[in-house]
Structure 1
Amino acid sequence: MHSFQMFHHIFKLTRWQQFFIGLFSGVFAAAIAINIACIFAELPPKQVVILSIRWLGGLSWINEYQTLLTGIAAVVAAFISVAHIRQQIDQTAQIERDRIEGRKFSARAMLPLALSKICQYAEESGQVVHLLMRHVQEEQVVIPNPRPVIPTIPEEALTVLRDLVEHSSQSERRYYFKLISALQVQNSRLSGILYDIQGHGSLVPTALNFYALDAAEVYAYASGLYEYARDWDKTVPSGITESEMETAIHLVGFWAEEGDELFNQARRLFASGRYGSSD
C-alpha cells in the first residue's frame, strides 16, 4: 500500500499535464489509425489484419514515427522528472515543518519553568521597590543599608521565549513581544535605581510607583501564559486584563493602601490604552 501511494504521489499530474500527455498520445494513435485506414482502402480486410500485425510486430513503425515517439518520450521523461523533484520538495518542506513543530513543542514544554522564573524575578523586583518605598522621608529616598541588590532577568527564560517567538504564529508573537518588551523596560528602569542610589542622580519618590507597576506588568504577562503552557489545547491570550494586573500588584508585594493606589493608577493606564485589553 505504501509503494502504491508513493507511485500515485509521484505520477499525480495536473490538468495541463494530463492534457498534453493525452494530446500526444492521441496524435500518435491517430497516426496509426490513419495508416491502417489507408491500407484498408487498398487491400482486403484479412490481408490488412495480417499486414498490421507484421507492421506492429516488426517494429518498422518506430522508424516512421521516430520523431513523434522521441518527442513523446521526452515529454514523459520531463513530467516524471518534475514529479520526482516535486516529491523531494514536498519531503523537504515536511521535514522543515516537523523541525519547527519540534522546536516549538520543546520550548512550550519548558515554558512553565521559564514563566516561574520570570514571576520570581518580578517578585524580587517588587521587593526592591517596596523596600525603597519604606525609606522615603520628606520627599526623598533614604538609601537603606545594606543597599538592595537589583535582580537580573533569567537568561534561560529569555531563551525559551526567543524559541517561541521564532516558531509561533503572528498572533502569538504579539503577546511574547509584549512580555519581552515589558521585561526590557522594567529591567532598564530598575537598573537605573542602582545608578541613583549610588549617588549619581536623584531618585524621585513618585517614580517608585511606576517601578512597582513595571514589576506587576511583567508578572501579569508571565502568569497570563500559565494556562497555555500547561494545557496543549489552550491558546495564547491577546493581552492582560485589569483583574490580572490587580492580582499581580498584590503578588509582587503591594497590599492595602499601597496596592489600592497602584491599582487605581493602573486602571488609569488601562483607560489610556497602555496595557491593551481590559475586563
Structure 2
Amino acid sequence: MGRIFNLVCWFFMCLFAAHIIWLISIDTQAYHGSKADVLLAGYAALFRFHWIYHYQTLITGIFAIGAALIGASAINGQIQSAERQERERRDARHAAARATLPLALSAITQYAVGCSRYVNAPTMSMGLLCLLYAA
C-alpha cells in the first residue's frame, strides 16, 4: 500500500510542477523583463488556481484511488487480525486438549487395571471390590 501511495503522490507532485512550469513559460513569453520579474510572474502563476478547473477530474480520481487504497489496506489489516485471533484461539484450544491428555490416559489406565483385577478375581464379590478400589 505504501509504495503505490508514494507513486501516486510523486505523480501528482510532478504533474503540479509541470503545470507550474507551463504557466511560468506562458506568462514569461509575453513579458521580457529581469529574472526577478520572471520569478515574480512565476509566483503569480502559482497562485492562480484556474488549473484546478482543468485537472479537477484527475485530482478527484487521484484522491479516490488514494482513499480506495487506504480502505483496502484497512480491510486487509482487519482480515489479518481476525485470522490471527482465530489461529491463537485454535492453538489455545489444542493446548488445553493436550494438557488434559495425561489425565484421560491415567483414568483409562486405572479403569483397565480395575477390569483386569475383576476378570482375574477368584470370586465375583472380590472382583467388585477390586473395581471399587481401583476407581
The alignment status of 1:24 with 2:7, answered yes or no, reads: no
Aligned to 2:96: 106
The alignment status of 1:62 with 2:49, answered yes or no, reads: no
Cα offset, 1:54, TM superposition: 3.0
Distance 1:21 1:118 in 2: 66
What is the alpha-carbon root mean square deviation over aligned residues? 3.3
Normalising by structure 1, we get a TM-score of 0.36
Is the 1:36–1:52 contact (alpha carbons within 8 Å) kept by the matching residues of 2?
A: yes
Aligned to 1:123: 113
Distance 2:44 2:27 in 1: 15
Cα offset, 1:41, TM superposition: 5.6
Normalising by structure 2, we get a TM-score of 0.66
When you count helix as a share of all residues, which structure comes out higher? 2
Q: Which has the larger radius of gyration?
A: 2
Pick from 49, 54, 63: which aligns with 2:39?
49
The one-letter code sitting in structure 1 at the alignment partner of 2:87 is R
Distance 1:36 1:86 in 2: 42
The one-letter code sitting in structure 2 at the alignment partner of 1:24 is F
Aligned to 1:35: 22
Distance 1:37 1:127 in 2: 104
Aligned to 1:76: 66
The one-letter code sitting in structure 1 at the alignment partner of 2:25 is C
Deviations along 1:138-192, one digit per CA (max 9) or x if unpaired, are xxxxxx746x78xxxxxxxxxxxxxxxxxxxxxxxxxxxxxxxxxxxxxxxxxxx
Task: Summarize the Cα distance change of 1:54–1:41 in structure 2 as closer, same or farther, 3 Å threshold.
Answer: closer
Distance 1:121 1:21 in 2: 71
Task: Summarize the Cα distance change of 1:22–1:58 in structure 2 as closer, same or farther, 3 Å threshold.
Answer: closer
Distance 1:81 1:98 in 2: 26
Task: Summarize the Cα distance change of 1:56–1:125 in structure 2 as closer, same or farther, 3 Å threshold.
Answer: farther
The alignment status of 1:96 with 2:125, answered yes or no, reads: no
Instruction: Give the 4+ runs in structure 1 shifted more than 6 A.
Output: none
Equivalent residue pairs, number = 124
Deviations along 1:99-147, one digit per CA (max 9) or x if unpaired, are 122222332333332221122233234445x52xx89xxxxxxxx746x
- Structure 2 portions without partners, runs of 5+: 129-135
Matched residue of 1:65: which SS? helix
Distance 1:123 1:21 in 2: 74
Distance 1:92 1:55 in 2: 51
Aligned to 2:132: none
Distance 2:42 2:78 in 1: 44
Aligned to 1:181: none
Cα offset, 1:69, TM superposition: 0.8
Distance 1:34 1:53 in 2: 10
Distance 1:67 1:48 in 2: 30
- Structure 1 portions without partners, runs of 5+: 1-11, 136-143, 150-279
